[in-house]
Structure 1
Amino acid sequence: MTDKRVRSAVNAQPKRVGVIAGAIALVVFAVAVVVGIVLANGDGTPAPVTVVKAEYNGTREGGVVVSGSPTAKFTMDLYADYLCPHCQKLEASMGNKFTERVNAGELRIRFHMLPMLNAWTRPAGYSSRAANAALCAADAGRFMPLHHELFAQQPPERGPGLNDQQVIELAKGAGLADSAFVNCVTGNAHAADVDATWAQAQAEPIVAAPGENGTPRFAGTPQIVINGKKINTGSDTWFEDALR
Structure 2
Amino acid sequence: MTNGGPESSPTKNQRREATREKAKELRDAQRKRDLRNKIFLQGGLVLAIVAVVVGITFVITSAIRPPTAGPSNMASDGIVVGQQLKAAQTSAIPAGSDPKPTQIDPNVPNIRIYVDYLCPICGEFEKANSEQLATWAENGTATVEYHPIAILTGRSAGTQYSLRAANAAACVANYAPDSFFVFSTLLFDDQPEEGTEGHSDDELSAIAKTALGSGEESPGGSTLSSISKCIDDGTYKTWVQESTDRATTQPVPNSNLEKVKGTPTVLVNDKQYTGSITDPKEFQAFVLSVASETYAQSSSTATPTPTEIPAG
Query: What interval of TM-score do these two structures reach, taking the shorter chain for normalisation?
Result: 0.5 to 0.7
TM-score, normalization: structure 2?
0.53
Distance 1:199 1:88 in 2: 22
| Higher strand residue share | 1
1:189 to 235, 238, 244: 235
| 1:64 is the counterpart of 2:78 | yes
CA distance in 1, matches of 2:118, 2:267: 20
Question: Identity of paired residues, percent?
Answer: 25
Q: CA deviation at 1:196?
A: 2.1
Provide the residue aligned with 1:227 in structure 2. 269
Establish whether residue 174 from structure 1 lines up as the match of residue 211 from structure 2. Answer: yes
Instruction: Judge conservation of contact 1:207–1:218 (CA < 8 Å) in 2.
Output: no
Asked whether the equivalents of residues 163 and 240 of structure 2 are also in contact (C-alpha less than 8 Å), the reply is yes
* 1:111-150 mapped onto 2 (5 Å cutoff): 111-139=146-174, 140-141=176-177, 142-150=179-187
The one-letter amino acid of 2:204's match is: V
Q: Give the gaps of 5 or more residues in structure 2.
A: 1-71, 84-102, 290-312
The answer to whether the 8 Å contact 1:63/1:196 transfers is no
State the TM-score, normalizing by the size of structure 1.
0.67
1:243 aligns with 2:288: yes
Secondary structure at 2:145's aligned position in 1?
strand
CA distance in 2, matches of 1:170, 1:105: 26
Is residue 232–residue 238 contact of structure 1 (8 Å, CA) maintained in 2?
Answer: no
* Contact 1:207-1:223 at 8 Å conserved across structures: no
Question: Which deviations, in whole Å up to 9, do the C-alpha atoms of 1:181-233 show, x marking residues without a partner?
Answer: 1111111111122112211211235586xxxxxxx764211111111111122
Deviations 1:50-70 (A, max 9, x none): xxxxxxxx9432641111268
Q: Is the 8 A contact 2:109 2:287 kept in 1?
A: no
Structure 1: 5+ residue stretches without partners: 1-57, 209-215
Q: Distance in 2 between matches of 1:61 and 1:217?
A: 19
Match of 2:109 among 61, 70, 74: 74
Count residues with an aligned counterpart.
180
Q: Report the Cα distance in structure 1 between the residues aligned to 2:145 and 2:274, rounded to whole angstroms.
A: 18
Is the Cα contact below 8 Å between 1:145 and 1:174 reproduced in 2?
yes
Question: 2:128 — aligned with what?
Answer: 93
Counterpart CA distance in 2 for 1:207 and 1:91 is: 24
Give distance in 2, aligned partners of 1:204 and 1:138. 24
Task: Provide the C-alpha distance between the structure 2 equivalents of 1:101 and 1:220, rounded to a whole number of angstroms.
Answer: 25
RMSD over aligned Cα, in angstroms? 2.3
Moved over 3 A (4+): 69-72, 205-208
* Aligned-partner Cα distance in 2 for 1:129–1:207: 30
Aligned counterpart for 2:119 among listed residues 54, 61, 84:
84
Cα deviations by residue, 1:51-93 (Å, 9 ceiling, x for unpaired): xxxxxxx943264111126855211210111001111111111
Residue 125 of structure 1: CA displacement? 1.2
Q: Structure 1: how far apart are the matches of 2:146 and 2:241?
A: 14
SS in 2 for 1:200: helix
Shift of residue 114 of structure 1?
1.0
SS at match of 2:158: coil
- State yes or no: 1:204 paired with 2:251: yes
Secondary structure of the structure 1 residue equivalent to 2:128: helix
3-state SS in 1 of match to 2:74:
strand
